[in-house]
Amino acid sequence: MSVSEETGSGIIVCEDVHKWFGDFHVLRGISLSVRKGEVVVICGPSGSGKSTFIRTINRLEEHQRGRIVVDGVELTHDLRNTETVRRDVGMVFQQFNLFPHLTVQQNITLAPVWVLKMKRSEADAVAVELLERVGILEQADKFPGQLSGGQQQRVCIARALAMSPKIMLFDEPTSALDPEMIKEVLDAMKELARSGMTMIVVTHEMGFAREVADRICFFDFGELIEENRPEEFFARPENERTKLFLSQILH
């Protein structure tokens, strides 16, 4: 499949994306296109630019060369474009980043009420529905500081979903969690993937990748080195660095 064909059908299209932190060349010409409903897992050693890359998709980081088009809107210096894209793209962070001064319910209803101008009663109903979906309805009136890491991360997922995004980005969603809490978060993500959400997930959870990903991308030194369907990726990695990485993380 050629790049131009993919561009036509991709909900996210990145072409030759470059970024520097000072003199450090973090992203070196990433081209990636994601179809609607596709689940893409990005893996790679730390410092390979994978987090930076998904953060350019909702412009928490600005790219300095190349093009990023999300659902037909190109990310440029035009703030209105950025805001449009952010409305359609939900993000889940490694460190949760819930708003500690608001209750769980308020964390979820805040953006729908202020950004989408939803009625409060309507937003509350959405929040209840989402909390039920991620299995923590009974925590609605608590503050984030009173929840376990796994619960906080599920609130974070619910908060992002409240904006009815077309795309969800996950930036190492389980890396800050205790082992016994990883499963509850992965389960919520699997359910989301099955519901047809377009997802880009930066993670080291290879079991999750094998089970739900449509495609796995391997990043190293700011480059997209290899991408393939999971079964191929694990069974027949082509690149030496991919093989090395897989041998390190699977054993």
Provide, rounded to whole angstroms, the least separation between the CB of residue 77 and another protein: 13
Provide, rounded to whole angstroms, the least separation between the CB of residue 169 and another protein: 8
Closer to another protein by Cβ: residue 27 or 158: 158
Q: How far apart are CA 74 and CA 72, in angstroms?
A: 6
Could you give the strand order of the β-sheet that contains 89-92, starting from the edge strand earlier in sequence? 89-92, 167-171, 198-202, 39-43, 215-220, 223-228
Instruction: Answer yes or no whether residue 160 interacts with another protein by CB under 8 A.
Output: yes
Burial of 102 (0-12, 13-18, 19+ CB in 10 A): middle
Q: How far apart are CA 203 and CA 173, in angstroms?
A: 7
Instruction: Answer yes or no whether residue 119 interacts with another protein by CB under 8 A.
Output: no
Residue span binding another protein (CB under 8 A) among the ranges 94-102, 202-210, 212-220, 227-235: 94-102
Instruction: Answer yes or no whether residue 199 interacts with another protein by CB under 8 A.
Output: no
Residue span binding another protein (CB under 8 A) among the ranges 17-25, 33-41, 140-148, 191-199: 140-148
Q: Which two tokens stand for residue 11?
A: 């909900």
Residue span binding another protein (CB under 8 A) among the ranges 12-20, 46-54, 106-114, 239-247: 106-114
Q: Which two tokens stand for residue 101?
A: 């001064």
Instruction: Answer yes or no whether residue 176 interacts with another protein by CB under 8 A.
Output: no
Instruction: Answer yes or no whether residue 122 interacts with another protein by CB under 8 A.
Output: no
Instruction: Answer yes or no whether residue 114 interacts with another protein by CB under 8 A.
Output: yes
Instruction: Answer yes or no whether residue 141 interacts with another protein by CB under 8 A.
Output: no
Closer to another protein by Cβ: residue 148 or 228: 148
Phi, psi dihedral angles at 82 (to 5 degrees): -55, -45
Closer to another protein by Cβ: residue 84 or 228: 84
Closer to another protein by Cβ: residue 147 or 225: 147
Tell me the angle at which helices 149-161 and 179-194 cross, rounded to the nearest 10 degrees: 20
Q: Which of 9, 72, 99, 243 binds another protein (CB under 8 A)?
A: 99
**CA-to-CA dists, residue 128 to 178, 183, 185, 186, angstroms:** 26, 22, 18, 21
Helical segments of the chain, H only: 3-9, 50-57, 79-88, 104-114, 120-133, 149-161, 179-194, 206-212, 230-235, 240-250
Footprint on this chain of another protein (rule: CB under 8 A): 58, 60, 79, 83, 86-87, 89-91, 93, 95, 97-101, 110-111, 114-116, 138, 143, 145, 148, 159-160, 162-163
